[in-house]
Amino acid sequence: MIQSVGRAARILKALGSESARLGVTELAGRLGLAKATVHGLLRTLEAHQLVEQDLETGKYRLGPAMLQLGNAFLDNNELRARSLLWAETLAGRARESVHVGVLYGANVLLVHHVFRPDNSLQILQVGASIPWHACALGKAMVAYLDGDGQAELLAGPLPRLTGRTLTRRAALEAELEAVVAGGVAVEDQEAIVGEAGIAAALFDHRGGVVGAIGLAGPVERLLPGGPAADLVAAVKEAARGLSRELGAGRPAVPGAGA
């Protein structure tokens, strides 16, 4: 490991985890480094526009090059690129917002978000990170992980986000079995009060899980006394179509049976 690269990465992460700007002294204290060291690293990062200094306060924040890198990450995400059309179609058919996510550690990272097509003001949630056990996307993916991967996540911290979040291992195991049996994962206000989700896993040519696509919206519309059958069908169809495009063989897609 190159020490200075590691330190520079920690500086960027520190600046990215705070909306407030940080001064050299604060950063040095937080990272346990000498002020001169931090100053040198900041100057180098600034030369590459990865950080910038506020002229009035002298404090540092992330620079414009970070946005380009973030966008490049999303653009290079093959799943996101391939999902654009399917996600748009699903949102139009279901009249609800669509999320596409991948598993990063114990969290689902949203790589694509299509707004509910009703002209209402909504916030782009791309980049949001949601604990896997609290959302439909996460449960849809984890249900198809191999035994070790699944066991690790089931053993990990399972924070409670609402009164309905499943935080017991046995309950989640039963939930994952239900996902495999039914081909979709359902979230009933487990991440946000009043919000529900219906999602299905996405598979590549090796039959491995590479992500998930699903609907997110008000519980009364998505789960009117159980998951709305037409929405479940729409999610499954989108997942099947997208998996095929990602190379998953038709007969080999697990859980894709109608």
Interface with another protein (CB under 8 A): 16-20, 110, 120-123, 125, 128-130, 160-165, 189, 192-195, 218, 220
| Shortest distance, position 191 Cβ to another protein, whole Å | 9
Q: Which is nearer to another protein, 5 or 193 (CB)?
A: 193
| Shortest distance, position 130 Cβ to another protein, whole Å | 7
Both tokens of residue 249?
Answer: 């063989």
Residue 160 near residue 189 (C-beta atoms within 8 A): no
Residue 130 near residue 107 (C-beta atoms within 8 A): yes
Return all residues near 103 (Cβ < 8 A) that are at least 6 apart: 109, 132, 138, 141, 142, 209, 211
Q: Which is nearer to another protein, 84 or 124 (CB)?
A: 124
Residue 8 near residue 45 (C-beta atoms within 8 A): yes
Q: Which is nearer to another protein, 163 or 251 (CB)?
A: 163
Q: Which residues pair with 108 in a beta bridge?
A: 103, 130
The DSSP code for 22 is B
How far is it, in rounded angstroms, from Cα 42 to Cα 47? 9
| Shortest distance, position 194 Cβ to another protein, whole Å | 4
φ and ψ of 226, to 5 deg = 105, 165
The amino acid that residue 89 corresponds to is T
Q: Which is nearer to another protein, 161 or 176 (CB)?
A: 161
Q: How many residues does the chain have?
A: 258
| Shortest distance, position 124 Cβ to another protein, whole Å | 10
Residue 64 near residue 51 (C-beta atoms within 8 A): no
Q: Which is nearer to another protein, 219 or 246 (CB)?
A: 219
| Shortest distance, position 14 Cβ to another protein, whole Å | 11
Q: Which is nearer to another protein, 116 or 240 (CB)?
A: 116
The amino acid that residue 135 corresponds to is C
| Shortest distance, position 241 Cβ to another protein, whole Å | 27
